[in-house]
Chain A
């Protein structure tokens, strides 16, 4: 028996790990809790390295851009060339600081409007695969970030915290197919659920057929899902679709937040609100299989 095990150890090990993987997958697909025993450890190890590389590559791309800008400069004296480089570097650093200040000021203004506790954080990494839309933050449990907290930017909704470690957190972005935000149209007060799409962008779904939707309408959070504060901008309706004879209509939404340029965000505590009786009849915000 031992000889057999030794002889086929690789196959036995591979088979066992496949069975473990399948059981993990089934548990997380069907269950409501995220079973992820090693995720915290990996988050804690990788996030500081990611943050460092993010900072270094930002500095390097600024230096590279300075070099590219100077390629077309001809027949200048060496000391003037160095001086121009120094001055352009200073200008770019000042511009970057000014841009960061503007973003942080907007975040500070947003913080004052948000009820409850809030934590400012920075995005240090994005999803490792191209199929999903998540991000890693540089703040975690030690800073007051908890699973299920909403993440917003000055422009609007960003997403929801799905896992945390002491010093980092993972955010499921609004554009992820598994996300779901209870929202309403500001003009007509029509309610629906905003879900992400693999094509990018979002859709407002499960809006009753008789509700009045128009292209250009602003969509904001309803505050009824107990996750996002009320009134945070989600996006703008850009296209409508209505099934003939169907119960619901769907609208494509352009998110208010530009996820490709997102750097600073605010993690906010869920608002304390009572869900009115009529809201319990509407479809609840479904965040798919990414945990509570």
Chain B
């Protein structure tokens, strides 16, 4: 129950920061994608159906507070969780550098999914340079914020609650 509450609070805080605080500060060129960091954390440490559902709901939360079509970020974040989960099953990913690499992978999956969606489903002319620049800046800011977010989650989530559940 506690991990569920902590991730719910973390998801709410992430969206509030992305929609309100970053705009107020004014000096950042874009908002760091904190939701990707949370989904990567789920993929690394919550190898259970609950982790997948958590990533789906975090994506849905992002869909609600962005102009995206409902379902786009649900798909993206579930994919991020799936990719990180599969990778963490095969590689040792307990050190900080591998966590950063996982966040980079998650951001790359997100960029690819969004770009594919615009390429296939968008009915308007798309400026690919603007799309890629915006997504890349968000990803880079996420990489900068990832260590702090991981440290905070690691502090509040007890080690025993990190379930690498047997499949």
Contact = CB atoms under 8 A, between A and B. Distances in A.
Interface of A: 6-14, 17-18, 20-29, 34-36, 38-39, 42-43, 45-46, 49-50, 53-54, 57-58, 61, 124-134, 136, 170, 172, 176-178, 195, 197-199, 288-290
A22 B71 contact: yes
Nearest to A163: B64
B121 to A, nearest CB: 5
A17 B53 contact: yes
Given A7-B167, A198-B126, A133 B67 contact: yes
A230 B163 CA distance: 59
Given A9-B49, A129-B67, A177 B12 contact: no
Given A25-B70, A136-B65, A198-B126, 19 more contacts: A9-B167, A10-B49, A10-B51, A17-B53, A17-B55, A18-B75, A20-B74, A21-B56, A21-B74, A24-B74, A25-B75, A38-B60, A39-B70, A42-B60, A46-B64, A125-B65, A129-B67, A129-B73, A288-B124
A63 B142 CA distance: 28
**Which of A43, A45, A49, A50 counts the most chain B CB atoms within 10 A?**
A50
Q: Which 5 A-B pairs have the closest CB atoms?
A: A132-B67, A24-B71, A25-B71, A125-B19, A21-B75
Contact of A124 (B20, B75, B134): B20
B15 interface: yes
B68 A22 contact: no
Given A36-B70, A42-B64, A198-B126, A10 B21 contact: no
Interface string B114-144: 1001000111101100110011011000000
A50 B13 CA distance: 9
A195 B12 CA distance: 32
A279 B30 CA distance: 41
B85 interface: yes
A250 B158 CA distance: 59
Given A9-B48, A25-B69, A178-B67, A131 B114 contact: yes
8 contacts: A10-B49, A13-B53, A25-B72, A53-B16, A54-B24, A57-B24, A129-B68, A199-B127
A24 B57 CA distance: 13
A10 B83 CA distance: 12
A134 B69 CA distance: 12
A56 to B, nearest CB: 9
Name which of B25, B33, B55, B72 has the most chain A CB atoms within 10 A of its CB.
B72
Interface residues of B, number: 61
Nearest to B57: A38
Nearest to A42: B64
A128 B19 contact: yes
Given A10-B49, A46-B16, A53 B21 contact: yes
Interface in B1-31: 12, 15-16, 18-21, 23-25, 30-31
Contacts of A176: 67
B66 interface: yes
Contacts of A127: 19, 65-67
Given A17-B74, A36-B70, A49 B65 contact: no
B106 interface: no
B62 interface: yes
Contacts of A24: 70-71, 74-75
Contacts of B145: none
Contacts of B20: 50, 53-54, 57, 124-126
Contacts of A128: 15, 18-19, 31, 35, 62, 65-66
